[in-house]
């Protein structure tokens, strides 16, 4: 593997959902399977990289030669990401981070009370990939944009807003690609333009994306 496209490079990848606790037994989360992030970690390791995979709660096995750090909440994922990206070459944010978390985490199990409704107060989570991208380190940062409409427009805007070098636009309006599916189709967007990678298995897509990102991260000097 010493001759791979990412030989000797450090690559950090986030994957899976985050889980935001309401009390000791309940949480808010989403249906992310972690498949895309785990496939990217496997492909990066195959390409010779030293890979740190920061994973929210998901049941997938750790790919060979990948160092896995398990986290639960967005706050934990942010802390692990900042630490792991200290001297890394490529950061890929494939996690489905909860946008919001409960404003208060009850120390004890919340009890049902007489009212028919319950209001939850939520606060915004930090944007992990934007925070890493703002660190002024020579790390090439990649985010995903899962959209159901105006996919490319929203993805281009997201690339600018998050300050990342590259965004992978993912149309999740269908059922045969994207979330929880084994296949995916994406468009890679960076300053050079847009590259369509049409429908293929997440394993193959991960290899193709890693090959492209290896070249792009080598030729881009972060200003
Ligand atoms: O803003 P949105 O959630 O659509 O952006 C998705 C991209 O940003 C993904 O790459 C995801 O991993 C990353 N993200 C993040 N921290 C957040 C929210 C999203 O790193 N709090």
DSSP letter for 111, please.
Answer: P
Q: Which helix (H) or strand (E) holds 82?
A: helix 74-84
pLDDT of residue 15: 98
**What is the best residue among 143, 158, 160, 163 to mutate for testing ligand 1's pocket, by most ligand atoms within 8 Å of CB?**
143
**Ligand 1 mean position to 219 CA, how many Å?**
25
3-state secondary structure of 203: helix
Q: Report, in angstroms and rounded to the nearest whole number, the Rg of the chain calculated over CA atoms.
A: 18
Tell how far the Cα of 93 is from the centroid of ligand 1, in angstroms: 7
| Model pLDDT, residue 223 | 47
Cβ 186 under 6 angstroms from ligand 1: no
Domain map of the chain by residue range?
A: 10-99+121-219
| Residue 30 a catalytic site member | yes
CA of 98 to the centre of ligand 1 (A): 8
128 a known binding residue? yes
Q: How confident is the prediction along the chain (223 residues), in pLDDT tens digits per residue? A: 456 999 999 999 999 999 999 999 999 999 999 999 999 999 999 999 999 999 999 999 999 999 999 999 999 999 999 999 998 999 999 999 999 999 999 999 998 888 788 899 999 999 999 999 999 888 899 999 999 999 999 999 999 999 999 999 998 887 776 666 788 899 999 999 999 999 999 999 999 999 999 999 998 755 4
Fold of 10-99+121-219: Rossmann fold (3.40.50)
CA distance 176 to 184: 8
Contact 211, 128 (CB under 8 A): no
Q: What is the pLDDT of residue 81?
A: 98
- Rounded-to-integer distance, Cα 170 and Cα 8, Å: 29
129 is in an annotated binding site: yes
| Strand spans (E) along the chain | 10-15, 20-23, 26-28, 50-55, 66-70, 90-93, 100-102, 122-124, 140-147, 166-171, 183-190, 193-201
């Amino acid at each position: 593997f010493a001759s791979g496209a990412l030989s000797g490079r450090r690559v950090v990848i986030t994957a899976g959902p985050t889980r935001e606790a309401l009390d000791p037994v309940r949480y808010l989360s989403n249906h992310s399977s972690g498949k895309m992030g785990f496939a990217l970690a496997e492909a990066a390791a195959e390409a010779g990289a030293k890979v740190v995979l920061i994973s929210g709660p998901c049941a997938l096995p750790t790919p060979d030669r990948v160092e896995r750090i398990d986290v639960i909440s967005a706050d934990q994922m942010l802390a692990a990401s900042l630490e792991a990206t200290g001297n890394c070459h490529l950061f890929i944010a494939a996690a489905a981070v909860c946008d919001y978390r409960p404003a208060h985490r009850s120390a004890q199990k919340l009890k049902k009370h007489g009212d028919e409704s319950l209001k939850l107060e939520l606060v915004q989570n930090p944007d992990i990939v934007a925070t890493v991208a703002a660190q002024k380190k020579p790390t090439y940062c990649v985010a995903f944009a899962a959209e159901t409409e105006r996919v490319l427009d929203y993805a281009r805007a997201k690339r600018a807003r998050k300050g990342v070098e590259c965004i992978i636009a993912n149309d999740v309006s269908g059922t045969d690609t994207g979330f929880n599916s084994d296949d995916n189709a994406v468009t890679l967007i960076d300053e050079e333009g847009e590259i369509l990678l049409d429908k293929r298995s997440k394993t193959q897509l991960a290899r193709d994306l890693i090959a492209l990102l290896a070249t792009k991260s080598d030729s881009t000097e972060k200003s």
